[in-house]
């Protein structure tokens, strides 16, 4: 399975509700062997009084098969950021879609427990690692510019 980005990466900056610091978000399709495979939203936070971290939502489902099919969509999310006692940033499963309204795109939003028991969890880690290493916004935010 070879992962690549779709052609239409988008970014947007807006203001944090809690501290008015900037939030930067990127989103795009991930393709697997050339075909649309998942959609992600990566939000990079610059809270004034907390760690710099990134929250990555990944949605799996059927893409581009005639009229949009949403009923098989399922979403996972993780937080990536500093962890006490570790040099490397760590990824932790969190409730999916927290920063996004409920809607058909996200489908079934998995919480941590549900994600841990879901058969697509290994695919989620593969996609989130790909985003961490290759999305310039996320990479810069987590690993330094």
The correct pick among 13, 15, 19, 136 for binding Zn ion (CB under 5 A) is 19
With binding defined as CB under 5 A, does residue 52 bind Zn ion?
no
* Binding window for Zn ion (CB under 5 A); candidates: 1-9, 13-21, 57-65, 122-130: 13-21
Shortest reach from residue 21's CB to Zn ion, in Å: 5
Q: Give Cα separations from 22 to 85, 92, 141 (angstroms).
A: 27, 23, 12
With binding defined as CB under 5 A, does residue 18 bind Zn ion?
yes
Task: Give the residue among 59, 15, 17 at the shortest CA–CA distance from 41.
Answer: 59
With binding defined as CB under 5 A, does residue 46 bind Zn ion?
no
- Reported as type and span, the H/E element at residue 57 is strand 53-60
* Site residue total, Zn ion (CB under 5 A): 4
Q: Which is nearer to Zn ion, 53 or 57 (CB)?
A: 53
Sign of CA dihedral 137, 142, 143, 145: positive
Max CA distance (Å), the chain? 49
* Binding window for Zn ion (CB under 5 A); candidates: 40-48, 63-71, 111-119, 130-138: 40-48
Residue 137 CA to residue 16 CA, distance in Å, equals: 17
Q: Which is nearer to Zn ion, 18 or 90 (CB)?
A: 18
């Amino acid at each position: 399975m070879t992962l690549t980005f779709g052609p239409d990466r988008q970014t947007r900056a807006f203001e944090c509700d809690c501290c008015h610091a900037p939030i930067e978000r990127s989103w795009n399709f991930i393709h697997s062997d050339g075909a649309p495979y998942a959609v992600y939203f990566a939000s990079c936070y610059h809270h004034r009084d907390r760690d710099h971290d990134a929250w990555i939502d990944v949605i799996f489902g059927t893409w581009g098969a005639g009229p949009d099919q949403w009923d098989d969509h399922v979403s996972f999310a993780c937080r990536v950021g500093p962890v006490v006692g570790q040099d490397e940033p760590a990824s932790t499963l969190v409730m999916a879609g927290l920063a996004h309204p409920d809607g058909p795109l996200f489908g079934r939003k998995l919480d941590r427990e549900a994600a841990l028991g879901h058969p697509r969890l290994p695919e989620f880690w593969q996609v989130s690692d790909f985003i961490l290493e290759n999305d310039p916004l996320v990479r810069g935010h987590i690993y330094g510019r």
